[in-house]
Structure 1
């Protein structure tokens, strides 16, 4: 079977290349995935014809454990066959008049940002992520001003399990276009997207930290919830519990402002951020204008390849975080053995439901739902120590349960198959429609169980 694949497309196996190269090609961001299934072969397409050949081979042999590496660190949970898109689809061009970019699905977000400059796509906040994120969310510093990555995709080219190439949009195969923006790994292999980008000035940024305490966390949330911050679509705040380099518990705030660069705007942002001055903070990044690429790379080091437990929850409606919910999180975080666990709890502000672009797209406009939430909360618990992995996962689940006393579940709770009802958990009210679309476009069920899902 694998010998046949080698006649269709370039393949790489562990016997062909040095261990270090194989490890780089086959590695997954979440090492829990590697405890489930070892990658046995990697297909390296150089063209869309190659991708069609790979998909037809998979359909012929009912090869259902396929994962796609779209440029950067990959999820591809439980994938024995990896399709590495980096050789043939590592490109991006942008129309300098309209800002519409044509994006190959074989590059990192950092490469995309560099190639489309001075235009920028609303993307995530870790630059070594692959472009697959564009199709499964993409929330970041432009979220309040322009929505998510998925909201800004205009057209998607995808190869489905019957070997057909579809070019879908809101006017052409709209059901597929709805589904692929949120559930692409379960529908086929995406080779290219067209998306709207935006010109963004240098960003006004700051990053500050304090010793972790309920008082400090509450002050940061209150600051972010004031109308001048909440209702400014160009101002985004992230509040987090995190560890210092010497493994002490900290709370921090990262503020990114992408409003037009002017004396008036700059003074407004400096005055707002200045409200945090002289409160015992540790200034990690002084308030200043920096290239937009700077905040895009700020969290790269902390998101390295490890055994990760990841969960996501949202606080439905335009509501702030209650003191009780913050107290429970701070208390739980104080008990985490930070010497052994890379633990982060991050509250991301999505903005007011009346002023933030994130909320202007209906929840059923694409498969990835939204809930009118002002705040979302992410839990990242990681360890590089395999012997500590299960303990880390248990700790992460405990923090998730602490948060869910006050919030609703939502998002990819874990990147492996350890959670029940993951489809409903992530896609909510869009689940039924999404199941119908997956059944229509993947009747052979080649992709229906990929990426830890099971349609």
Structure 2
């Protein structure tokens, strides 16, 4: 061993390891929109979704300025392996429009709505809301079958199903989609319709966000009168069983023009209905003949006279936004749902008893009357899971205080469990909560339909890039053909 002389220069220190360069400047340079990172101005605002219980920290929120921004973001997610969430309106109760530590592709700026009043078609961007479409169509006396809260994103709603006040008259939102512009996982842009990409078109209508980023949807629109005959018949707790039995008999043969949704909740103070739970039979008539509508509603009054009511023609925009204030942005939300084929005595007893136990504000449940145009669509026309359901129960929470989390989620779970023995088994992805995604595909879709959806997934997204959803996993070695442009 040779000693180093005392006057020899010291060996150079090892260089301090440098962090790798950030990949986000290159991503920002590849798009015309903006990339918002943690710590930057506005990040805390753009990362949030409607459900206040979903409070996560994405690695980046990419706010697309147009459809051409989508492919570079998908390429970035594939290259980095970061999980990807696609957000339209951000109203999904499960919080699928955001992801912790991943990339959020925010389509919120794609809100253009174009109406062709002659052809009765409406084309909406992937970030449009129900309110955007209603504002655009109302001046022409037209409406698209959508949901019931105007802040809901059209893309997520329509791809999952779309249940609302026109369901019995004109079907679900998926039944009224004429075409979709889609960016696939590999960045390819395709147009899907009954004539082009028919298998993809089938899967999009009920399969949710599993198959690509939908940048625009074209819908069929329907004529509506300037004032829609609508309202609520209200029953107090002592009348719940009687009113439900009457509704069961009455709803068996009401015309398709009438869609009804029964709501059980403690009303907010501004409704001026007191502090006890109520049963409100809400209805909307999708036709010009108000006398015929009144006659139908009178038949229910004859069977079970309401304790109170508010029935009058209303502008469609007013009716569509009537419950918006009940579900403000940031609500803490937890939902469960299932379909039913009848309102038998046991099920009625469960609904009435649980409704009376609901002595607080912050939870509720709706019973949607299905059938009509919804039920006349054949099971295989779309990928929506169930077409023979007569009723659909949605149990929902909408509270603000985290201290209520355990109690209110418990109420939702317990009611769902008590109702389950009477259920028809249908599950609707748009009403499924955050703890449902892993089980969604096998619990929502039938065997043959699930196999077909999985094969489609293999064709268009074999690596499951679009997995931040109620996921349909890719499978099937022989997927259907999807042509890429």
Q: TM-score, normalised by structure 2?
A: 0.83
Question: 1:321 — aligned with what?
Answer: 343
Deviation for aligned residue 1:125: 0.9
* 1:255-305 CA distance string (max 9 Å, x none): 21122146x4355356446537854x133xx22111112221122122233
Distance change (3 Å), C-alpha of 1:332 and 1:271: closer
Bigger radius of gyration among the two: 2
Deviation for aligned residue 1:83: 1.8
Number of corresponding residues: 432
1:250 aligned to which of 268, 272, 278: 278
1:29 aligns with 2:29: no
2:142 aligned to which of 83, 104, 119: 119
> Counterpart of 2:333 in 1: which secondary structure?
strand
Question: 2:16 — aligned with what?
Answer: none
1:58 aligned to which of 77, 98, 101: 77
2:321 aligned to which of 283, 297, 302: 297
Q: How far apart, CA to CA, are the structure 2 residues paired with 1:258 and 1:97?
A: 20
Question: 1:210 — aligned with what?
Answer: 235
Distance change (3 Å), C-alpha of 1:46 and 1:334: same
Distance change (3 Å), C-alpha of 1:212 and 1:24: farther
**Structure 2 unpaired stretches of 5+:** 1-22, 269-273, 474-485
> Counterpart of 2:246 in 1: which secondary structure?
helix
Say if 2:36 and 2:62, in contact at 8 Å, map to a contact too: yes
Q: Where do 1:322-337 residues align within 5 Å?
A: 322-336=344-358
1:343 aligns with 2:343: no
Q: Where do 1:268-417 residues align within 5 Å?
A: 268-269=295-296, 271-272=298-299, 274-275=301-302, 279=306, 281-283=307-309, 286-304=310-328, 305-316=330-341, 320-336=342-358, 338-339=359-360, 342-351=362-371, 356-409=372-425, 410-412=427-429, 414-417=432-435
Coordinate RMSD, CA, aligned:
2.3
Larger mean CA deviation between 412-421 and 431-440 belongs to: 412-421
> Counterpart of 2:415 in 1: which secondary structure?
helix
2:446 aligned to which of 407, 413, 428: 428
Question: 1:445 — aligned with what?
Answer: 464
Distance change (3 Å), C-alpha of 1:52 and 1:390: same
Q: How far apart, CA to CA, are the structure 2 residues paired with 1:416 and 1:428?
A: 22
Distance change (3 Å), C-alpha of 1:219 and 1:48: same
Question: 1:109 — aligned with what?
Answer: 130
Q: How far apart, CA to CA, are the structure 2 residues paired with 1:192 and 1:70?
A: 11
Say if 1:411 and 1:426, in contact at 8 Å, map to a contact too: yes
The structure, 1 or 2, with the larger RCO (C-alpha pairs under 8 Å, 6+ apart) is: 1
Q: How far apart, CA to CA, are the structure 2 residues paired with 1:374 and 1:444?
A: 38
Question: 1:6 — aligned with what?
Answer: 28
Q: How far apart, CA to CA, are the structure 1 residues paired with 2:25 and 2:244?
A: 58
1:186 aligned to which of 189, 210, 223: 210
* 1:402-428 CA distance string (max 9 Å, x none): 111210331236331456522122223
Q: Where do 1:12-161 residues align within 5 Å?
A: 12-18=36-42, 22-34=43-55, 37-64=56-83, 66-71=84-89, 73-74=91-92, 75-76=95-96, 79=99, 80-87=102-109, 89-117=110-138, 118-132=141-155, 133-161=157-185
Q: How far apart, CA to CA, are the structure 2 residues paired with 1:127 and 1:81?
A: 26
Q: How far apart, CA to CA, are the structure 2 residues paired with 1:77 and 1:107?
A: 14
Q: How far apart, CA to CA, are the structure 2 residues paired with 1:256 and 1:307?
A: 28
Q: How far apart, CA to CA, are the structure 2 residues paired with 1:217 and 1:258?
A: 28
> Counterpart of 1:451 in 2: which secondary structure?
coil
Q: TM-score, normalised by structure 1?
A: 0.88
Q: How far apart, CA to CA, are the structure 1 residues paired with 2:278 and 2:50?
A: 25
Q: How far apart, CA to CA, are the structure 2 residues paired with 1:405 and 1:184?
A: 27
* 1:167-217 CA distance string (max 9 Å, x none): 11122221111111122411121001111001111211112322224x434
Q: How far apart, CA to CA, are the structure 1 residues paired with 2:200 and 2:462?
A: 14
Question: 2:20 — aligned with what?
Answer: none
> Counterpart of 2:414 in 1: which secondary structure?
helix
> Counterpart of 2:323 in 1: which secondary structure?
coil
Q: How far apart, CA to CA, are the structure 2 residues paired with 1:195 and 1:419?
A: 28
Deviation for aligned residue 1:224: 5.8
Say if 1:313 and 1:407, in contact at 8 Å, map to a contact too: yes
Q: How far apart, CA to CA, are the structure 2 residues paired with 1:138 and 1:261?
A: 26
Q: How far apart, CA to CA, are the structure 2 residues paired with 1:271 and 1:194?
A: 38
Deviation for aligned residue 1:40: 3.1
